[in-house]
């Protein structure tokens, strides 16, 4: 039984005294190419919530264009500033579940809602002087992590795989797309017969490609991530019946109901939980528990987050059913300089978990100011 802190009785409800929203732009160290396009920078809404001298922070994981899921940065900035943040400033919430219930009536917009919900979890766990990990019901001092390598030529990819295995990363995920799949995976598998390998197609295939996808069964992959459409659990069930390699769903799982349907229909034998994609930690915990009930392992995905989102992901990854390495690798792989003071770096493929209150990371305000625009305050 997971011992979760379900109430804020210790200090009573938290009243949101104020909120701040800003847009943050960070250049990426290496452009990141996936089936839907190439990212050169990370642009994201950053939300800060204030209550009784405490502060909670979170970032949104939506992209500028609706290429991963349907949400966009501009759309989220609008929803956050006109509806979600004005709707909670001045309101009191006994615990994160109460805040999640307040946000529940809104349709979709899971990433925008997650930004607010996650900031509240950070705020609430700080107010209780607990690490976020403890408030969520997790434990342990470090988590296993792998890396997600963007699309690239076969020879460069082999070099990058070697590099990351040498650094101790526990699993290598290769991005694939139509026309850049079997030959790539064969070459990497031949070069690294023992490596824990997975692939991620970001929805690039259809059921018409079942034969090709079943061909991936030859390469002892741990799983194939999101081969088919973002909104099609049913087709993934059909595909799973045609291949041995476990299917892992990412884009298709935005709610616990999506997870339940995927598990009931055998559309996913592994699930990638991204808290920022799924409406926040309450929903991520529900997905985690459902998967455990179906004996399906989960792992924590990433969206090239800054240290703020990365820290949330690290704490969530300490829950017991996160039994596969996550994508929460060293921040220095993504950014020359991060917006948090603490260095989130792996040691031999393990990411340490902060034991300070909340996420345990603090904003580097001087640097943050240089990469921020559109700063807005919401007061009572
Ligand atoms: O599908 O998991 C994905 C990055 C951006 C958008 C989608 C995905 C990814 C990654 C990178 O795979 C994960 C990370 O290193 O943060
Ligand atoms: Mg993915």
Cβ 144 under 6 angstroms from ligand 1: no
Q: Provide the residue range defining the domain that includes 90.
A: 14-130+362-375
Same domain, 175 and 31: no
Average pLDDT, the chain: 97
Same domain, 244 and 332: yes
pLDDT in tens, 21-40: 999 999 999 999 999 999 99
Phi, then psi, of 148 in degrees rounded to 5:
-110, 115
Contact (CB, 8 A) for 352 and 142: yes
Q: Residues 132-157: what's their mean pLDDT?
A: 98
Same domain, 204 and 221: yes
CA of 208 to the centre of ligand 2 (A): 21
Phi, then psi, of 298 in degrees rounded to 5:
-125, 165
Question: What is the structure's pLDDT at 11?
Answer: 65
Examine the residue annotation and report whether 261 is marked as an active-site residue of this protein.
Answer: no
Residue with tokens 């690290």: 314
Residue 347 has pLDDT above 80, yes or no: yes
Question: What is the structure's pLDDT at 9?
Answer: 43
Residue 350 has pLDDT above 60, yes or no: yes
CA of 270 to the centre of ligand 2 (A): 12
Question: What is the structure's pLDDT at 12?
Answer: 84
What is the position in ligand 1's atom list of the atom closest to the CA of 333? 15
Residue 380 lies in a domain: no
pLDDT in tens, 186-231: 999 999 999 999 999 999 999 999 999 999 999 999 999 999 999 9
Contact (CB, 8 A) for 318 and 139: yes
Question: What is the structure's pLDDT at 4?
Answer: 55
Q: Of all protein residues, whose CA lies closest to atom 13 belonging to ligand 1?
A: 302
* Domain CATH code at residue 204: 3.20.20.120
Same domain, 88 and 151: no
Contact (CB, 8 A) for 223 and 213: no
Residue 170 has pLDDT above 90, yes or no: yes
Cβ 276 under 6 angstroms from ligand 1: no
Q: Residues 38-43: what's their mean pLDDT?
A: 98
Same domain, 215 and 333: yes
CB atoms within 10 A of CB 82: 10
Same domain, 72 and 157: no
Same domain, 250 and 170: yes
Give the whole-angstrom CA distance, residue 148 versus residue 160.
11
Cβ 63 under 6 angstroms from ligand 1: no
Residue 333 lies in a domain: yes
Residue 10 has pLDDT above 80, yes or no: no
Same domain, 288 and 171: yes
* Domain CATH code at residue 83: 3.30.390.10
Same domain, 314 and 368: no
Which pLDDT band, with edges at 50, 70 and 90, does 268 fall under? very high
Residue 311 has pLDDT above 60, yes or no: yes
Q: Residues 330-347: what's their mean pLDDT?
A: 98
Residue 3 lies in a domain: no
- Please, which residues bridge with residue 168 across strands? none
Give the whole-angstrom CA distance, residue 262 versus residue 256.
10
Residues with Cβ within 8 Å of 114's Cβ and at least 6 positions away in sequence, in order, are 58, 60, 61, 275, 276, 277, 278, 279, 280, 283
Same domain, 258 and 239: yes
Which pLDDT band, with edges at 50, 70 and 90, does 173 fall under? very high
- The number of folded domains in the chain is 2
Q: Which of 34, 145, 171 to mutate to test the pocket of ligand 1 (most atoms within 8 A of CB)?
A: 34
Q: Of all protein residues, whose CA lies closest to atom 1 belonging to ligand 1?
A: 202
Residue 2 lies in a domain: no
Residue 244 lies in a domain: yes
Same domain, 323 and 229: yes
Same domain, 95 and 232: no
Residue 89 has pLDDT above 80, yes or no: yes
Cα distances from 282 to residues 6, 102, 166, 256, 351, in angstroms, run 11, 12, 36, 10, 23
Percent of the chain past pLDDT 70, that is, above it, reads 97
Predicted model pTM:
0.97
């Amino acid at each position: 039984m997971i011992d979760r802190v379900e109430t804020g009785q210790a200090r009573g409800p938290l009243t949101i005294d104020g909120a701040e929203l800003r847009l943050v732009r960070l250049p990426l160290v290496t452009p990141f190419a996936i089936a839907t396009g190439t990212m050169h920078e990370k642009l994201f809404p950053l939300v800060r919530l204030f209550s009784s001298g405490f502060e909670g922070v979170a970032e949104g994981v939506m992209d500028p264009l609706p290429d991963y899921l349907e949400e966009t940065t501009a759309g989220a900035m609008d929803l956050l500033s006109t509806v979600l943040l004005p709707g909670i400033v001045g309101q009191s919430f006994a615990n994160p579940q109460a805040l999640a219930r307040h946000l529940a009536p809104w349709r979709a917009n899971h990433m925008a809602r997650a930004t607010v919900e996650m900031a509240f979890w950070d705020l609430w766990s700080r107010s209780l002087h607990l690490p976020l990990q403890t408030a969520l019901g997790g434990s342990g001092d470090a988590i296993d992590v792998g890396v997600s390598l963007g699309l690239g030529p076969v020879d460069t990819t082999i070099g990058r795989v070697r590099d990351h295995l040498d650094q101790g990363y526990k699993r290598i995920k290769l991005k694939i797309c139509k026309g850049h799949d079997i030959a790539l995976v064969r070459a990497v598998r031949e070069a690294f017969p023992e490596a824990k390998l997975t692939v991620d197609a970001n929805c690039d295939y259809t059921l018409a490609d079942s034969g090709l996808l079943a061909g991936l069964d030859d390469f002892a992959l741990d799983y194939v991530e999101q081969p088919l459409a973002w909104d099609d659990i049913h087709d993934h069930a059909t595909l799973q019946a045609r291949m041995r390699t476990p299917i892992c769903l990412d884009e298709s799982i935005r709610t616990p109901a999506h997870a339940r349907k995927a598990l009931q229909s055998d559309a996913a034998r592994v699930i990638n939980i991204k808290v920022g994609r799924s409406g926040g930690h309450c929903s991520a915990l529900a997905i985690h528990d459902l998967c455990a009930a179906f004996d399906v392992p989960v792992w924590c995905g990433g969206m090239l987050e800054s240290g703020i989102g990365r820290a949330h992901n690290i704490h969530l990854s300490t829950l017991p059913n996160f039994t596969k390495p996550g994508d929460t690798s060293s921040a220095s792989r993504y950014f020359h300089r991060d917006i948090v003071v603490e260095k989130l770096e792996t040691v031999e493929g393990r990411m340490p978990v902060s034991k300070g209150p909340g996420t345990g990371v603090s904003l580097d305000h001087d640097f943050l100011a240089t990469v921020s625009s559109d700063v807005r305050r919401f007061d009572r």
